[in-house]
With several copies, the nearest count.
Chain A
Amino acid sequence: MTTPETTLTAKDFSTPNAPSWCPGCGDFGILTSLKKALAEGGYEPHNTVVVSGIGCGSLLPYWVKTYGACTLHGRAIPFATGVKVANHDLNIVVNIGDGDGLGIGMGHFVHFFRRNFDMTVICDNNGVYGLTKGQTSPTAKKGTKTSSTPFGSIEDYVNGPALALQMGATFVARTYSADSPGLTEILKQAMAHRGAAFVDILQPCVTFNKQETYEFYNANIAKNPLETPICETRLDAINFCLTPHEQIPLGIIYKEDAPTYEDSVPQFAKGALRHQDITNIDASAFMHSRS
């Protein structure tokens, strides 16, 4: 990352258009904190890429003045992986929805953390498919009644942080869209972390989720200090995530220094691939080895 010439503020990451989310939507908080974290983290618009899938939360790139991509439902992670390969100097934030990233995108989610690319995945976790009008998402608790499961869902819910941990994520946190300072700080740490980070963001959908409301979260969350991770080992962290808690614990659950994917690929050592000259590549060795 190059250091910006001047100090930027959240405003420098704003676009003129106003977000189209429902008034009160938790996504506003995520947008605000992300812009703040980008500014405070010293990132620059042109060296940052926000990649999303499709969903309410996934509209976010429209309103961050960086490079951005609203890709396909469930495919933000592989798309962003390609961006990273092209230019591993970029700060890449992948914004997935709970339906997007943990429903249709589950295969990519799981395999992504096995690689430990230096990227930050944040999940707008609202328990519903917001943009398609409120069907049951994979993080919705068993028994949830929505238009797609009018008699109550029969599936157990997906625990994103526990799953990311099991697959090898090297930074895992859970936070809450309305906890602006906590969210901002966690996003900063996640982006600063070298390796694959996962941030699960509890995000009230005021329109379709009548269970996990602001009131509910305000009464049922427990914030942990952000100086050190809650757990010291990966196994502890998995246990922590899978153990029921009185209050939903927020904070940095686990963090680990480990070689990134980029570290293991010498091709990256010469600098971003996108800067390489390709005008006249000499392939004679390829041919000679076959003669």
Chain B
Amino acid sequence: MDQINIVVGGPAGAGIESVAHSLALAFTREGLHAITSSEYENVIRGGHSFASVHAAEKPVQSHQLHYDLLIAMDKNSILLHKDEVDVGGAIIYDNEKIKVDDIEFPEGVVIAQVPLARLAKEAGLALAANVVAVGAALAILDWKQDAMQSVLETIFQRKGEEVVEINHKALAAGFTHVKENITHRIDKKLQGDETKRFLMSGNEAITLGCIRAGIKFLAAYPMTPGSTIMTTLAKEARNYDVVVIHAEDEIAAVNMAIGAGYAGIRAATSTSGGGMALMSEAMSLAGQMEVPVVIFNAQRPGPSTGLPTRTGQADLRMAMHSGQGDFPRLVVAVGDHEECVHLTAEAFNYAEKYQIPVILLTEKYLADQHRSCEFDIADNIAINRGKRIDHVNDPENFKRFADSPDGVSVRSVPGVKGGEHTATSYEHTEYGKAEEEVPGVALMMEKRWRKVESLTEALPPPKTYGEGDDIVVIWGATKNPALGAQQILHDKGFDIKILQLQYIHPFKTEAVLEKIAQRRSLIFIEGNQSGQLEGIFAENTGIRPDHSIRDYYGRPMTAEWIAEEIEKYLTSLT
């Protein structure tokens, strides 16, 4: 499949991500499928960041680390990315700003010198050098300016006609400069279709899932890369009658959400690992009080502050075991944009149906990755609010925590007459009063535990993709790179079966065992050091992997790398 791959590099603050975003949006408008991927440092300006856009006629599986085109906004970017440009590709840079005498360019790559800064200034805005670069890029790709012009309109319209005008000029300047001075073209012959699509990031997809699920309250405290769930929803607050509170800390945020859940609305909080660590005690509260709440954790690499702007998958065990004591909870991990929407909506359903805390794990790679999406992505979402009542028949005998076969009791919320009760973090009776005696304690402990059983039963079986005797187990955003790897391996004659665990805790042991019953080898790919999913797998099935692939350096895995690693292992088997 032909695919356009562009990378833009430069210091933070130079508009790197907006170049990638606007290109992706332009490709989307032209009926192509685009994704982005970005890497930035923990600084607000300076340092080195880069973002890539990948576009094709069919959905793009995952990003890659070699490109047709490098847009270098500084010298460092040339040095760091020049060898990632494929033969036949090009490097755009500002020849009036960057001296390249000491740089050895790779062979077979065209050096496109474009005076970005000067052209931008001439267009009327020094800051628009990145727009000039986009114009140059389009010309080298032998592409038209139309879609990008409309994208610039969308982006800058709220700043007024004049700003739009200047940006259009900057775009044209870059475009024309290449047309007039550079002959080389990268011709990918991609043809978009007629379907209208839209572009959103993983965190926007989660926000969309929240909106469709009927969220009414999000309380959160900023933490990269989780913050954009809060900020995206905050902007939509008045459109969807949602209240968003930037709380004083994560402990307040999660307790606010739990209070709201207790009082009958769908509420959530979003954060990253350090923030979720602070929510530990409250998770146990929700477990004991049987209050629905959804916690989003966009993972980044730890330990501790770690690598705040990078990606990782090392908070799975924490999600499962934070909070004192044993209590039912659900841990879900999303693999792509569509799952961000749907599993988010399901998270709210499970939270309310089982009256439990649900932790949804995403990760920086997916959280920030933009993707062209179909407009039906948020269709087929059913709302299930569980055992709620708005009228209590026998108030004297209303047992909020009544024992029941599935462990779930009928729930009244403040405002419902006759349903008054105390929800308490202490062990309690079916009525919600303090209980310390063994039979009463046993009744409640076992009632709650029955929810683990009924929930496990209700969860869908794990997903598999493809067939093969070598089974590759993955979770989270490794999904797309792994699917890409599957294709690469297939082309090389290796057929693997991918097993993706979305609902990880509680563990649906029987269903998992069924999926791996026939196998030659079991391979785990994880974005953490200790092999967290491996441990969980072994704990529940007694089966340890035959081979482990782990990447915990903060960068997303590529399909190529995964394919290579798996091929190495499979080759060693034979």
Q: A contacts B directly in the complex (CB < 8 Å)?
A: yes
- 9-residue interface stretch from A168-176, A181-189, A269-277: A269-277
User: Which of B47, B211, B259, B433 is in CB contact (< 8 Å) with A281?
Assistant: B211
14 more contacts with CB within 8 A, not counting A81-B259, A107-B248, A278-B266, are: A20-B47, A44-B417, A46-B414, A71-B285, A78-B219, A83-B263, A85-B265, A150-B231, A272-B415, A276-B214, A286-B211, A287-B377, A290-B198, A291-B375
Measured between C-beta atoms, what is the minimum distance from A183 to chain B in Å?
22
Q: Which residue of B lies closest to A66 (CB)?
A: B420
| Cα–Cα distance between A244 and B528 once the two chains are bound (Å) | 53
- 9-residue interface stretch from A31-39, A48-56, A221-229, A230-238: A48-56
Q: Which residues of A are found within 8 Å of B200, using beta-carbon distances? A: 287, 290
Q: Which residues of A are found within 8 Å of B125, using beta-carbon distances? A: none
Measured between C-beta atoms, what is the minimum distance from B1 to chain A in Å?
24
Residue B245 is within 8 A (CB to CB) of chain A in the complex = yes
Task: Verify A291–B211 contact, CB threshold 8 A.
Answer: no
Interface of B is mostly: mixed
Q: Which residues of A are found within 8 Å of B541, using beta-carbon distances? A: none
A 241-291 contacts with B by CB, 8 A: 265-268, 270, 272-274, 276, 278-281, 283-288, 290-291
Task: Verify A278–B42 contact, CB threshold 8 A.
Answer: no
Q: Tally chain A residues at the interface, Cβ within 8 Å.
A: 85
Q: Which residues of B are found within 8 Å of A89, using beta-carbon distances? A: 415
Residue A207 is within 8 A (CB to CB) of chain B in the complex = yes
Q: How many A-B residue pairs have CB under 8 A?
A: 284
Q: Which residue of B lies closest to A291 (CB)?
A: B198
Residue A148 is within 8 A (CB to CB) of chain B in the complex = yes
Best-buried of A48, A51, A274 by chain B (most CB within 10 Å): A274
Task: Verify B281–A72 contact, CB threshold 8 A.
Answer: yes
Measured between C-beta atoms, what is the minimum distance from A107 to chain B in Å?
6
Q: Which residues of A are found within 8 Å of B416, using beta-carbon distances? A: 46
Chain A residues at the B interface, C-beta cutoff of 8 Å:
15, 17, 20-23, 44-49, 51, 54, 56, 59, 61-62, 65-75, 77-87, 89-90, 103-104, 106-108, 110-111, 129-133, 135-136, 138, 147-151, 153, 207, 265-268, 270, 272-274, 276, 278-281, 283-288, 290-291
State whether A132 and B282 are in contact (beta carbons under 8 Å apart), knowing that A81-B259, A89-B415 are contacts in the complex: no
Task: Verify A54–B305 contact, CB threshold 8 A.
Answer: yes
Q: Which residue of A lies closest to B293 (CB)?
A: A82
Residue B304 is within 8 A (CB to CB) of chain A in the complex = yes
| Cα–Cα distance between A82 and B239 once the two chains are bound (Å) | 20
State whether A266 and B248 are in contact (beta carbons under 8 Å apart), knowing that A133-B44, A135-B222 are contacts in the complex: no
| Cα–Cα distance between A153 and B308 once the two chains are bound (Å) | 26
Best-buried of A47, A90, A281, A286 by chain B (most CB within 10 Å): A286
Task: Verify A74–B241 contact, CB threshold 8 A.
Answer: no
Residue B237 is within 8 A (CB to CB) of chain A in the complex = yes
Residue B66 is within 8 A (CB to CB) of chain A in the complex = no
Q: Which residue of B lies closest to A287 (CB)?
A: B198
| Cα–Cα distance between A284 and B413 once the two chains are bound (Å) | 31
| Cα–Cα distance between A49 and B419 once the two chains are bound (Å) | 12
Task: Verify B245–A70 contact, CB threshold 8 A.
Answer: no
Best-buried of A59, A85, A149 by chain B (most CB within 10 Å): A85
User: Which of B45, B235, B415, B419 is in CB contact (< 8 Å) with A23?
Assistant: B45
| Cα–Cα distance between A90 and B260 once the two chains are bound (Å) | 12
| Cα–Cα distance between A136 and B445 once the two chains are bound (Å) | 34
State whether A82 and B415 are in contact (beta carbons under 8 Å apart), knowing that A108-B248, A151-B238 are contacts in the complex: no
State whether A287 and B208 are in contact (beta carbons under 8 Å apart), knowing that A82-B262, A103-B249, A138-B248 are contacts in the complex: yes
Q: Which residue of A lies closest to B383 (CB)?
A: A279
Measured between C-beta atoms, what is the minimum distance from B217 to chain A in Å?
5
User: Which of A61, A62, A136, A207 is in CB contact (< 8 Å) with B45?
Assistant: A207
Measured between C-beta atoms, what is the minimum distance from A156 to chain B in Å?
13
Residue B472 is within 8 A (CB to CB) of chain A in the complex = no
Task: Verify B227–A45 contact, CB threshold 8 A.
Answer: no
